[in-house]
Amino acid sequence: MSTQELMAELARRIPAERLLQRPAQLAPYESDALTAFRSRPLAVVLAETQEDVIQTVRLCHRYSVPFVARGSGTSLSGGSLPVPDGILIALNKLNRILRIDIDTRVAVVEPGVVNLDVSRAVAAQGLYYAPDPSSQLICTIGGNVAFNSGGAHCLKYGMTANHVLGIKAVLPDGEVVQLGGNSLESVGPDLTGFFVGSEGLFGIALEITLRLLPKPERYRTVLAAYSSLAAAGNAVAQVVASGLLPGAMEIMDALAIEAAEAAVHAGYPRDAAALLIVELEGEEIQVEAEFAHLLQVIESSGPDEVRVAVDDADRARIWKGRKSAFSAVGRLSPDYIVQDGVVPRSRLGEALATIERLSRKHELRVANVFHAGDGNLHPLILYDGRVAGELERAEVLAGEIIAMCIELGGSITGEHGVGMEKRQHMPAMFAETDLEVMATLRRGLDPAELANRGKMFPGSEAPALHSRGPHPLEQQGIISRE
């Protein structure tokens, strides 16, 4: 009855063309970038204003109906999957840059603003927004905030949390709050940091105040090819030990190179077993001095080939290949699962060797692309969902990689979040008391667990199920069709 009343209320407030209810209208929202899971919401609200979002959340609270916020749907952990019989609030139309203050280097944006559009808006003033996920051409700031996204340059500049100064948000009960402000200096608890990375469990960001940085005066980008992944991993350790702090250090293996070359023709050496991309950035005098040192370190690491970007176009080609790697893998396999576990840099070689062994054990190819500087792995497990048993083997392999990250002293997620996919690994990483504290904080803001219900916490109600038969997590009793 409550859902019928809710829909009647929504119909009075939201125009019919922005309140989607027919199966054909709902189909595009059944899944996010974790395509192995699907779930159909009760309805989708295409919000155009902050008030649309606030009123929808308040109605969901009044009638005890769960809701999920969604931007571009690029979540790789199932974080924006709909809750069955819940409302999905689409935020793409809230895409206005509300204010830019060049003097204080601040931009205030709505959650549907695309990541790269922030940098484009301030480029003429010599500024940019530092966090640069591979999906920055399409992912939104609201999603970046929800999952504390990083990117290739997070080694030097940090994650989204390091660049969000303030947030206006609607809490799960419909209350609108202002967290933080316009300054790096704040008084009292870091409530902005508390909200960033909460995966939609604490409500929905309506306005985000971002810190802008001056564009580096000089870039130096080096591409080194190696005959093995281990050699590339050792080169990372040598760069770190040298005392240099590059803006980015990325590694791609042979499969990732093959996919990127086929997709964007980046000019990578096709016979390399691994590529290492290292980029220095900053003031020209400093960068040139560090560049000479970097070349010495790279040469001493035994590369088969070293290339230096000769101009901006050359640099852009190198990065286009790396940032296209995820989507390009679709040329090699109809389906893939990507993980984002983290290991200490000192154990990177061990982790890669283990992934290679697990790949052979499960008879599935794995393309490795990762942020080498901070040990954030991105193994892409290739499978064909049309072949009986391949998805199950891929899920098991993914789980074993996550277990390895924990064993090596790392984390189950570096930037994609826990979402739906990695809930079952939380008890392996956190003590029971830790999980209970997290759950208590969540219930303090949302006693009925309406906001993004079923995500992050193990044993909670599952919001989505695999569409091609029983999912391995269902077989293990982690999720249920009931």
The mean-pLDDT minimum among 17-21, 148-152, 173-177 falls in 148-152
Cα–Cα distance for residue pair 426/445, rounded to 1 Å: 21
What pLDDT band is residue 122 in, cutting at 50, 70 and 90? very high
Please give the angle made by the CA atoms of 113, 114 and 118, to the nearest 5 degrees. 80
Q: Above 50 in pLDDT, residue 466?
A: no
Q: Give the CA-trace dihedral at 141, 144, 145, 150, to 10 degrees.
A: -130
Average pLDDT, the chain: 91
Fold of domain 218-328: Alpha-Beta Plaits (3.30.70)
Average pLDDT of span 109-114? 98
Structure confidence by residue, pLDDT tens digits, 237-254: 899 899 999 999 999 999
Written as one letter, the residue type at 427 is: P
Between the alpha carbon of residue 318 and those of residues 116, 221, 277, 311, the distances in Å are 18, 9, 8, 11
Binned at pLDDT 50, 70 and 90, residue 328 comes out as confident
User: Does residue 470 carry a pLDDT above 60?
Assistant: no
The mean-pLDDT minimum among 26-30, 39-43, 159-163, 352-356 falls in 352-356
Residue 397 in contact with residue 405, Cβ under 8 Å? no
Q: pTM of this prediction?
A: 0.90
pLDDT above 50 for 472:
no
CA gap 482, 479 in Å, rounded: 9
Candidates 3.30.930.10, 3.40.50.2300, 3.40.109.10, 3.30.465.10; correct CATH number of 97-214?
Answer: 3.30.465.10
- What pLDDT does residue 461 have? 53
Two tokens at 458?
Answer: 């193990």
Provide, rounded to the nearest whole percent, the portion of the chain with pLDDT above 70: 95
Domain ranges of the chain: 2-90, 97-214, 218-328
Is the pLDDT at 467 greater than 70, yes or no? no
Q: How confident is the model at residue 478 (pLDDT cuts 50, 70, 90)?
A: very low
What pLDDT is recorded for position 477? 40
pLDDT at 460: 57
Average pLDDT over residues 194-212: 97
Residue with tokens 């922030």: 118
Mean local confidence (pLDDT), 57-80: 96
In this prediction, residue 481 has a pLDDT band, given cuts at 50, 70 and 90, of very low
Give tens-digit pLDDT for 12-24. 999 999 999 999 9
Per-residue confidence at 469, pLDDT binned at 50, 70, 90?
very low
Tell me the CATH number of domain 2-90, given options 1.20.140.10, 1.10.1040.10, 3.50.50.60, 3.30.43.10.
3.30.43.10
Least confident of 1-5, 339-343, 450-454: 1-5
